[in-house]
Structure 1
Amino acid sequence: MSIAPVIDAGTAAGLHSPLFVDCRFELADPAAGEAAYRAGHLPGAVYAHLDRDLSDHGSDAAHAGRHPLPAAAQFAARLSAWGWLPGRHVVAYDGAGGALAAARLWWLLVMARVPASVLDGGIQAWTAAGQPLSTDIPKPADTHLDIAFDTDLLVDADELTHLMAENHAVLVDARARPRYLGEVEPIDAVAGHVPGALNRPFDQNLIDGRWRTSAELRQSFETLLGNRHPGDVVHMCGSGVTACHNVLAMAQAGLEGSRLFAPSWSGWSSDPDRPVARG
């Protein structure tokens, strides 16, 4: 039976031996998410730290952005340490409707061809449904995995430039509109957006912390994209994290095949030779 990319607490609780992964993280306080995990998490859940587990801050790649993707071998080592085995369904959750690290983990799992979903409403929805929490920290046995990433799901800056010049791609920026317009830029050195990019803030996928229906998501993206095929769509944000929320939203809407420009604005704007648009 196929399991949707976004599932509710009842569905998650009914899965056979899922691997729950707590992805709570705060950009302003990188230790807060792990502290919250230790105070209470879904039973059996392991913890994924955005900076340590879902990014490669040791990368020396030029213009890779603030959250470079980990290499496949790094991610395989993390999955192994969590005790994952092929075929086991992963459920990622956070405290922000999947808006931050849960969607990022889901995207890495998709690239690794690992079955995965995001918990609708995060840990708040789990407790609201009357499901229990635990403070036990699991100690799974390492499973010594090898995985490979499907890199066809990624686009680099040069390919993106070429695709957009030939009108073969629609670039969708998930940042809040003031950042997209270049009116404010609280994090990166340069304000603005990639010329030609459309703006669809990721928070449009949610209402009161829960995901909109698949039909609502589909209508929203079809209105934005017109008659363009989902495979023409490339997503970006500030550093390749919240863009995954829009990839997930399209998948939940049945619009499969969109790709990710992982360096996103932080990578693009770090290269002075790349053009910048404002307004």
Structure 2
Amino acid sequence: MKTLISVEELTVLIDQDDALVVDCRKDLSSPDSGRQAWSAAHVPGAIHAELDSDLSDLGKPGQGRHPLPDEAVFSDVLSRWGWRPDRPLIAYDDAGGALAASRLWWMLRLVGAQAVGVLDGGWSAWKASGLPTESSQQVPARTRISVAYDRQQLVGYEALQAELAAGSICLLDARGGPRFRGEVEPLDRVAGHVPGARNRPFTDNLDANGRFKPPAQLAAEFTALIEPHVSSAVVHM
């Protein structure tokens, strides 16, 4: 399955009743913003994913602002959604797909899922298309899912420090430039960035219309940014 799904492709999947659509909208400064936005209007049939509880476990002290939930917890979330590995899942957010929707995509790839994509352009693209929305809240038929993370794709703090000291990795910080530089910090207790990190704001991956830039352009931009490292040596944060 393609990673980026167009509005037109998503309408076909919805018409075929062949996809689980997940609304991942979230304003990090407003805890209830995602559910409120979904309750007001969403892509027909879409269920809501809450960043702070479904896609994170805020009860893990000392592990950052949005630690991964335990595997059993994420398994229960997927079961509650009615997900199964052979059913396509399309995630969207209101950041062009480059924020919480991409996190859900990554988490599913981390447990081995292949049939998962992100709506290119996100909620804005859907609205701009003039397609219908709804506010009704469906309760999916529960499945029984058990997943496990591929731990080789995760890097802990101590290992990260050692790799940075050795110069063997390139750490890319996806926050906006002002936060990376420590000029503003609306969310975290300490401003600035991890020593040695390089900045690639997630918004730089999108074009003027809020859709992802062409693959060749993204490849060229990332290659220039990470030199002399190769892509397999990149760690994202």
**TM-score, structure 2 length as denominator?**
0.92
- Give 2:192's aligned residue: 192
Q: Which amino acid aligns with 1:184?
A: V
Offset at 1:186? 2.6
Instruction: Give the AA of the match of 1:87.
Output: D
- Structure 1: how far apart are the matches of 2:165 and 2:30? 40
Q: For 1:228 and 1:118, how far apart are their aligned partners in 2?
A: 27
User: For 1:148 and 1:102, how far apart are their aligned partners in 2?
Assistant: 20
Shift of 1:51: 0.7
Are residues 1:202 and 2:202 paired? yes
In structure 2, distance between residues paired with 1:12 and 1:152: 32
Give matches, 1:108-123, under 5 Å: 108-114=107-113, 115-123=115-123
Q: Given the superposition, is the C-alpha separation of residues 96 and 57 from structure 1 closer, same or farther in structure 2, using an over 3 Å criterion?
A: same
State how far apart, in whole Å, the 2-side matches of 1:10 and 1:152 are.
Answer: 35
Q: CA deviation at 1:28?
A: 2.2
TM-score, normalised relative to structure 1: 0.79
Instruction: State the alpha-carbon separation in 1 of the partners of residues 121 and 40 from structure 2.
Output: 19
> 1:241 aligns to what?
none
* Deviation of the 1:227 alpha carbon: 4.6
Which amino acid in the other structure matches residue 176 of structure 1? Answer: G
- Name the counterpart of 2:131: 131
Q: How many residues align?
A: 232
> What is the rounded CA distance, in whole Å, between the counterparts of 2:83 and 2:192 in structure 1?
40
TM-aligned CA distance change 1:82 to 1:184, over 3 Å: same
Give the Cα–Cα distance (whole angstroms) in 1 for the partners of residues 220 and 73 of structure 2. 37
Corresponding residue number in structure 1 for 2:31: 30
Q: Could you tell me whether the CA contact under 8 Å between 2:22 and 2:46 is conserved in 1? A: yes
Q: Cα RMSD (Å) of the superposition?
A: 1.5
Matches within 5 A, 1:240-259: none
Please say if residues 205 and 218 of structure 2, whose CA atoms lie closer than 8 Å, have aligned partners that are also in contact: yes
Provide the C-alpha distance between the structure 2 equivalents of 1:83 and 1:176, rounded to a whole number of angstroms. 35
2:2 maps to: 4
- Superposition deviation, residue 41 in structure 1: 1.3
SS at match of 2:172: strand
In 1, are the aligned partners of 2:29 and 2:187 still within 8 Å (CA)?
Answer: no
Give the structure 2 partner of residue 107 of structure 1: 106
Shift of 1:174: 1.2
CA distance in 2, matches of 1:23, 1:105: 8
Task: Indicate the SS of the match to 1:14.
Answer: helix
- Summarize deviations over 1:194-229 as a string: whole Å, max 9, x none: 121111111101123221111111111011123522
The whole-number CA distance in structure 1 between the counterparts of 2:186 and 2:30 is 16
Is it true that 1:225 corresponds to 2:226 in the alignment? yes
Q: Does 1:46 align with 2:47?
A: yes
Letter in 1 for 2:40: A
Q: Deviations over 1:99-129 (max 9, x none)?
A: 3311111111111112211101112212322
User: Which deviates more, 195-204 or 185-194?
Assistant: 185-194
Percentage of matched positions with identical amino acids: 47
Amino acid at match of 1:74: V
Give the unaligned 5+ runs of structure 2: none
Secondary structure of 1:10's counterpart equals helix
Query: Does the aligned pair in 1 maintain the 2:24–2:51 contact within 8 Å?
Result: yes
1:87 aligned partner: 86
Query: Are the counterparts in 1 of residues 176 and 201 from structure 2 also a CA contact under 8 Å?
Result: yes
Q: Which structure 2 residues correspond to residues 150-189 of structure 1 after superposition, within 5 A?
A: 150-189=150-189
